[in-house]
Chain A
Amino acid sequence: MPRFDRLEFDPSPEQPGVPPAHAADPDRDEHYWMRLADADRRQGLFENALRFYSRALELDRALVEAWIGQVQMLIALGEYAEAELWSRKALELFRNQGGLLAARAHALCRQGDRKQAQMLCDAALAQAGHSAYTWMVRGELMVASKEGIDRHCFDKAVQIDQDWLVLLEIAQVYLHYRVPSKALTRIRQAVEKAPDNAHCWFVQSQCEEALGLTVRAQASLKRCLEIVPGHTEAQRRLTTLSKQGWSLRSAVRRFGSFFQRALGSLVLKKSADEAKAL
């Protein structure tokens, strides 16, 4: 009956965009590649994750999460201009998609264009269904503009998504903007949730190293190497920390902390004396 020829039922098994290699293996569908991408992302293997997101998109171009993941990976790899371009392209396909708007805001924020990033982030929040990523980008914007209310945005992100990956990424945001003390708080929570993840330990060591806690950083790196013995970056950092001798920077930092402690104890003693006298 020709009048029913154009009716749509289930999608046909032969999708025109699907490569034959993938079509031949029914287990390796887009969700399989997405799982691989997520696993590599959690290990800090952003290049691999980016590749897997692309593989997932080859199978299903309507997978918004994969587009967002690609942009996030490009940002994690420091390719902000490319990430911004890619998010724009994705937004042409998925207009006003909250996650993609947030991803573009993220890329723009990293490029220093905070005004436009703020507008895009507002637009992302105006969309229905907020994701943790949108609030994370909001928090990053607050950190970048030093507004001091970043904690609330990050807390909101953690509230939406309890995954330790969110905590890890928040810590990385703080590290990017050189706020290691706040990063350490978040990464400790992530390590508590995922003690078997080498990347968490590695990021924790980065925070500790930035704070001058060399011994703790070494311990974190050792733990990271216990979990993944072939972690080259951790090995390199551990060797560097072991060989690290005296430096003016560390001496100044130690002197500063000693001075602070001495001053604090002096103030405490004085206040105790005053209390006694009263």
Chain B
Amino acid sequence: MQCSSCHFENMPGVEVCGRCGSSLRLATAVVDVHPPRARPWVKRMRRTLPLRKVSAQVRDAVRGLRHQAADFAQFVGFPQPRPGMLPRLIVPGWAHIHSGQVLHGSLFLGVYLTLLAFGFLCLGTQLGSFLLGLAFSVHLSSVLSILFACPGDIPSRFVTTTVVAMTLSLAVYFPAGWLLTRVADPHTITLAVFPFEEGDVVLANQWAYLRSPPQPGDIVLYERRGVNIPPRRGHVAIRLQNGQDIDRILAGPGSQVRWENGELYVDGRPSPFHPLNPLHVPTQIRLSVPEGHYCILPSTLSQTIPTGYELPASVWGDLSIVRAGRIQGRVYWRHQPLSRMGLLR
């Protein structure tokens, strides 16, 4: 039997050509010989939206870029890890464990996790930053130890180190840091005002009010407006600049607030909430909270006002009404010092 494709003379009885593998039973096989046809609207649509062409072009472009990147890496002497190693470089030590260097990998991972844990424990302090920086260095070292497995010259290693450090920073640590500061933004207290001491670190959740509005009783980080403080005898008038403060929300929008002799009344009823430092609030304040605003008595402000000055009742009224947009997050945790670490209520 002669193959119709390659004209090879096959033995009788065989079903496929011994040379090219074509079927020799075409005469008896049931094969549809009428080709599929495209409908006119399909042809029109293909002309209008050449998806296949675009996808092929995108695929070729990606492939070309990959080749160019590989060529460039080879040109500058950038080491190329084995396939499958690249995603494992995100976790320090994982690539080592994967390639059989279990001790090295465990060491890298252990040291990294320890430094990371202590760094988080000291978040907001210089020691915390130092420990987190060390953790980053360990991560970088673990990646470089994989990439420098093969010998290379010093300039190429320098370029590799720079590129890897930048990639790790931009691809891993910058997004992770950004996410962390959304839910645990550390704030260091610079002036000792009850209940905080100088050097205390508190954590604020900036995403606390994404879904629900702030509630009375929440301790919040907010932006205080700047106010002019009138002079007392023998002093000049000064301006208290705007800045960040931490205090408790006492009443919501549309409430009538009355503060009398250390007791808070909201809409005529006594309220269980008090400012953080009630001793520094005047004996009597009456406020009406407009819509879209909250009542926060700035009780932790007293230490920022110079000696010889005091806030008149009208200024207290101005400072205590805070627009909802000025509330930056909920303060929920005292992180430093470790002896007083705990929830803020």
Binding site for B on A (CB under 8 A): 6-8, 11, 15-17, 50, 54, 57-58, 60-64, 70-71, 74, 78-83, 85-86, 93-97, 111-116, 128
Contacts and interface: CB of A to CB of B under 8 A. Distances in A.
Contacts of B1: 8
B29 A97 contact: no
B38 interface: yes
B34 interface: yes
Contacts, number: 92
Given A15-B27, A61-B29, A86-B36, A95 B56 contact: no
B268 interface: no
A83 B38 CA distance: 10
Interface stretch (B15-23, B167-175, B286-294): B15-23
B52 A17 contact: no
A61 B60 CA distance: 37
B5 A97 contact: yes
B5 A70 contact: no
The 6 closest A-B pairs by CB, nearest first: A112-B53, A62-B4, A57-B33, A113-B56, A94-B5, A61-B26
Contact of B27 (A62, A79, A94, A112): A62
Interface residue SS majority, chain B: loop
Contacts of A70: 35
B27 A61 contact: yes
Contacts of B59: 115
A115 B63 contact: yes
Interface of B: 1, 4-6, 12-13, 17, 20-23, 26-31, 33-38, 43, 46-47, 50, 52-54, 56-57, 59-60, 63
Given A8-B12, A116-B56, 4 more contacts: A7-B12, A61-B33, A62-B26, A78-B43
A114 B60 CA distance: 9
Contacts of A85: 36
Contacts of B36: 82, 85-86
B28 A93 contact: no
Nearest to B39: A79
A60 B31 CA distance: 11
